[in-house]
Chain A
Amino acid sequence: MAVEKARAVIAEFLARAGKSSDDLSDETPLFGEGLALDSLEAAELSVMLEDVLGTDPFSSAEQLPQTVGDILAFYEVSSSA
């Protein structure tokens, strides 16, 4: 469930940020060539995730997530724990 919610938050964030989610896959990188998030956009996504799911991988994971899949995986681990 948490994973689906996270997916919905990412989609809403992209819509708000005016970024296309057409070619989005779990492998899409968050930075650089992928979604090209800068620090402020990543911070915005992290608080949106935190507001909906209570925790977020940008704040809690040891390393910053690199791909869309890294974000989803964080919630898979969290919800199975």
Chain B
Amino acid sequence: MILLLERAAAEAPDHPAVVTGEGTTTYGELRTAARRVAGGLVAQGVTRFAMVEPDATRIVQLLAGAALVGSEPCQYQADMAPAEFAAQAESLGHDVVVTRRTDLVGPFRVVDPDELAGAEPDTRPGPGEAQPLLIRTTGTTGVPKAARHDWSILGRTVATVSPRPQQRWLLAYGPHQFAGLQVIQHVLASRATLVAPFPRQPRDGVDALLAEGVTCVSATPTYWRFLLAEARSRGVALPALEQATLGGEASPADLLEELRATFPGVRVSQVYASTEFGSVASVRDGRPGLDAAVLHGEANPTSHLRVHDGELWVRAGAGMLGYADASTEAADPADADGEWRRTGDLVEVVDGRVLFRGRTSEVINVGGVKVHPLPVEERISALDSVAAARVFGRANRLTGAIVAVEVVPLGGADDADLDRLREQIRDAVADLPRAWQPRSVAFVDSIQTRGDKTVRRVEA
């Protein structure tokens, strides 16, 4: 991160690096600020810290400055509720929080990012051996985990990127997400410009495309669908794009066609990546799924992907080093020597294409957000007037899937009781992220089980 920034700043100090609602920052300014942040971190003795910050300019300064001095940053969603933040910061052992928010209080020290950026710059020539960072993810039970990464390994994925200073990339992902960090790294490596509005809804993306000269966008299929719908709804013609990248969910064929029709000449890429495994594969042919030629085999012995019993397996590329909590097992080892890992993605090879068919687990992918049914189910089952509840994924064209729940109310409920219960369910899940909240609530007499297990697979 710091090496990419230093290189870009040396070659093009006056080129715009980051454009946000607060203004434009050049590579030279960004490097100076990162060096000041580094000095501030050292002066304050901060070796690891939580970040709660919406502004991409400050985020890049903090990440790069931390990398220079080997301090370990960990981003949290900028709008996370104070109680939720306090709980997660405690579980990850964060006792320093860099934020401009004033509502985050707890057994931690709050440091203003602008105070760090006002420190004397650190002048060491380059980063040390370790440039750690933590990326938060959600584990199989829905409890947040944090994957330990290092910039020196993450940087390999952009090592061959050539300078394309004319490109302007929209930051459509959260910068706390693996995909968002990939976009930031790519921009720095190509000495391009990051256009980072906040909030990051598709409607903000449309504004950025129209007003900020964006030429490249990386986003989930759900984001793309809504960006196109928003533009149609406003009756505006979107300017041409050079690059459209999709990731996080399977890309439907009709969406790929719509992208090509909307942006003639655009290069369409689909990326297969995850917080745990890093960037694993990408395809550029604009068709759904992956080309089966990317799979491991005699013809392709160095591939990171193979299909085993209908499940996609992966071996480490730019993957993580482990979880923050050493007792947490690394993603399911699939073979005896632990080289290959299960991804949990079910695939089928059809006519030379690897097509995605769903998940082996009960995880529900809602527009790229992985939702675990249990925490949702527990909150609803805990309500006094609920006898039983089953949370499952329901297929949806707009978001891939939505969270659905079947509820068995306690006996004798009339319509008014059910209306009240619907409100209670809404309140019971209000503390969960929006993608986790059930969008379909059905009252039923009994729930579907297989043996004594509740069935939670995604239903068409």
Interface residues of A (CB under 8 A from B): 16, 29-34, 36, 38-40, 42-44, 46-48, 51, 58-59, 63-64, 66
- Binary interface profile of B, 223-260, with partner A (CB < 8 Å = 1, else 0)? 10110011011100000000000000000000000000
Is B201 a contact of A29 with CB atoms below 8 Å? no
Residues of A within 8 A of B203 (CB): 31-32, 36
Besides A39-B223, A58-B397, 19 more A-B contacts (Cβ < 8 Å) are: A16-B422, A29-B233, A31-B203, A31-B229, A32-B203, A32-B230, A34-B233, A38-B201, A38-B202, A39-B367, A39-B399, A40-B399, A40-B402, A42-B398, A43-B439, A44-B402, A47-B402, A59-B396, A66-B232
* Cα of A51 to Cα of B394 in the assembled complex, Å: 12
Q: Cα distance A26–B176 when bound, in Å? A: 40
Q: What 0/1 pattern do residues 396 to 412 of B give for CB contact below 8 A with A?
A: 11110010100000000
Q: Report how far A40 CA is from B394 CA in the complex, Å.
A: 13
Q: What are 26 A-B pairs at a CB distance below 8 A?
A: A30-B233, A31-B203, A31-B226, A31-B233, A32-B203, A32-B233, A34-B233, A36-B203, A38-B201, A39-B202, A39-B223, A39-B225, A39-B367, A40-B399, A40-B402, A40-B434, A42-B398, A43-B398, A43-B399, A43-B439, A47-B404, A47-B439, A58-B397, A59-B396, A64-B225, A64-B229
Chain A residues with CB below 8 A from B434, complex form: 40
- Please give, as numbers and ranges, the residues of chain A lying within 8 Å of B404 by CB-CB distance: 47
Cβ contact of B232, chosen from A33, A43, A63, cutoff 8 A = A63
| Most chain B CB inside 10 Å of its own CB: which residue of A29, A33, A43, A64 | A43
Chain B residues with CB below 8 A from A33, complex form: 234
* Contact in complex: A31, B435 (CB < 8 Å): no
Chain B, interface size category, equals 20 to 34
B81: Cβ under 8 A from any A Cβ: no
- B193 shortest CB reach to chain A, Å: 26
Nearest residue in B to A56 (C-beta to C-beta)? B397
Q: How distant is B415 from chain A, measured CB to nearest CB, in Å?
A: 13
Given A39-B202, A39-B367: A46 in contact with B234 (beta carbons within 8 A): no
Query: Is B446 part of the contact surface with A, judged by Cβ < 8 Å?
Result: no
- Asked if B440 CB lies within 8 Å of chain A CBs, one says yes
A44 to B398 Cα, complex, angstroms: 10
Bound Cα distance from A46 to B222, whole angstroms: 15
Interface residues of B in 85-137 (CB under 8 A from A): none
List, in ascending order, chain A residues with CB within 8 A of B230's CB. 31-32
Q: Name the residue in B202, B398, B434, B439 with the highest tally of chain A Cβ atoms < 10 Å from its Cβ.
A: B398
Instruction: Report if A44-B234 is in contact (Cβ < 8 Å); known contacts: A39-B202, A39-B398.
Output: no
- Point out the residues of chain B lying under 8 angstroms from A48, CB to CB: 440
- A42 to B397 alpha-carbon distance, docked (Å): 10
What's the nearest-Cβ distance from chain B to residue A49, in Å? 11
A33 to B236, CA, bound (A): 13
Residues of A within 8 A of B233 (CB): 29-32, 34, 66
Report Cα–Cα, A42/B226, bound state, in Å.
Answer: 10
Given the complex of chains A and B, what is the CA–CA distance between A29 and B229 in angstroms? 11
Is the CB–CB distance between B396 and A47 below 8 Å? yes
Q: A32-B203, A58-B398 are in contact. Are A40 and B439 (CB under 8 A)?
A: yes
